[in-house]
Amino acid sequence: MRIKILLTIILLSSAITKIYAQEIEGNLNIHTFADNREYARSNRFSQTIFGLRFSPELGLLLDSTHRIRVGFNALHEFGSPKFTNKIDPVVYYQFTKQNWNFYMGMFPRRDLLSDFPRAVLNDTLSYYRPNVEGMLLKYENENWKQLLFIDWTSRQTATDRENFIFGLSGQYKKDMFFISHYAMMLHNAGPAIDIPGDHIEDNGALAVKVGLDFSGKTFLDSLTFNTGGLMSFERERSVGGWKTPKGLLLEMAAEYHRFGITNSFYKGEAHHIKDGDQFYTAKSYNRLDLSWRPKIYKGIEGKFTLSFHFLDGVIDSQQAFAIRYNIFGNKTLRKHSSN
């Protein structure tokens, strides 16, 4: 049924294109991934995420400012007997003018929220929740970038909870110096039929970083250092006040000829950030990433990352490899009457 609805939307949009559109756009994204997470030593959740996402889009570029896109994002997890494990619709409006971008609908989070620190929004979201369902506003110029969004993750019914995330991020960069911030809050309300003893939950996090970007200043392709802080916010309404654990963040990242190394260190109080990385429940945590981005073919991106997680006196490991193929095109059409 869902496939029939999506096909109907695409056919309707194609019919509308013949009448009104200045330009028709198409985009096809294939993302296949293998992420093996060996987290048993620290008693975190071990799993292997192995599958593929297929996401075609068809769009209308009405003019230089207004765009409409329709499509879907289908997930197949390898080993599953199902043709697809989940289909997410992609339908959104985009407004673009000078330094402003506005999205409303169900649109891909990649390239919009993918730079959030894992402590604030974990990287598993790219596998299982690739779209934002709501609104996003972004302003960006040569030195400044600011973004606001709301992502509605669960609509309230008699048995389902009302659940949404709102957040922001931003950066100021001048020469080598930069300062950036990231924040989000999860609002978790109850279903329409009250559950005895249940309470509305608020759960969020804030990260601030100050650093130097030496990219282009050394023999390396990129080199950055930053330090900052992480604070989380958690409460159950009518039960108690806010819990606000805090800690220090230190990070270094470098890349040379597509080989990279990133080291992220945290020291402070333990956090319970529901949409954040589970390793920040530790008071001291260090992550070392060794990466390689092979040059495959035009339009095809690949990345292999070997990660080591140092916490609680043990070392966990992770091996992740992904290939993403993106093809797009457009065709200019003249306006003409439907008669």
Q: Measured between alpha carbons, how far is 4 from 2 in angstroms, rounded to an integer?
A: 5
Burial class (CB in 10 A: 0-12, 13-18, 19+), 113: buried
The single-letter DSSP state of residue 279 is: G
Taking only the tens place, the pLDDT of each residue in 104-143 is 999 999 999 999 999 999 999 999 999 999 999 999 999 9
Q: Looking at the predicted structure, is the pLDDT value of residue 335 above 80?
A: no
Domain limits, the chain: 98-292
Q: Is the predicted pLDDT of residue 337 greater than 50, yes or no?
A: no
pLDDT confidence bin for 63, thresholds 50/70/90: confident
Give the whole-angstrom CA distance, residue 321 versus residue 304.
4
Q: What six digits make up the tokens of 40? A: 């048993």
Model confidence over 11-33: pLDDT tens digits? 555 555 454 547 899 999 999 99
Give CA–CA dist 53/149, Å, rounded: 24
- Nearest in space to 156 (alpha carbons), one of 196, 190, 202, 197: 190
CA distance 206 to 257: 33
Of the chain, the percentage scoring pLDDT greater than 70 comes to 92
Q: Where residue 195 falls among pLDDT bands split at 50, 70, 90?
A: confident
Q: Output the average pLDDT for the chain.
A: 91
The letter for the amino acid at 322 is A
Q: Which residues pair with 325 in a beta bridge?
A: 30, 300
Q: Average pLDDT, stretch 290-319?
A: 94
- Whether 4 has a pLDDT exceeding 60, the answer reads no
Tens of pLDDT along 146-156?
Answer: 999 999 999 88
pLDDT at 339: 45
Of 244, 178, 253, 166, whose CA–CA distance to 208 is shortest? 178
Q: Note the pLDDT tens digit of each residue in 218-246.
A: 999 999 999 999 999 999 887 878 999 99
State the pTM of this model: 0.87
Q: Which residue has the higher pLDDT, 304 or 195?
A: 304
Model pLDDT, residue 137? 98
Strands 201-213 and 222-236 turn out to be antiparallel
Please state, for a pLDDT cut of 90, what percent of the chain lies above it: 77
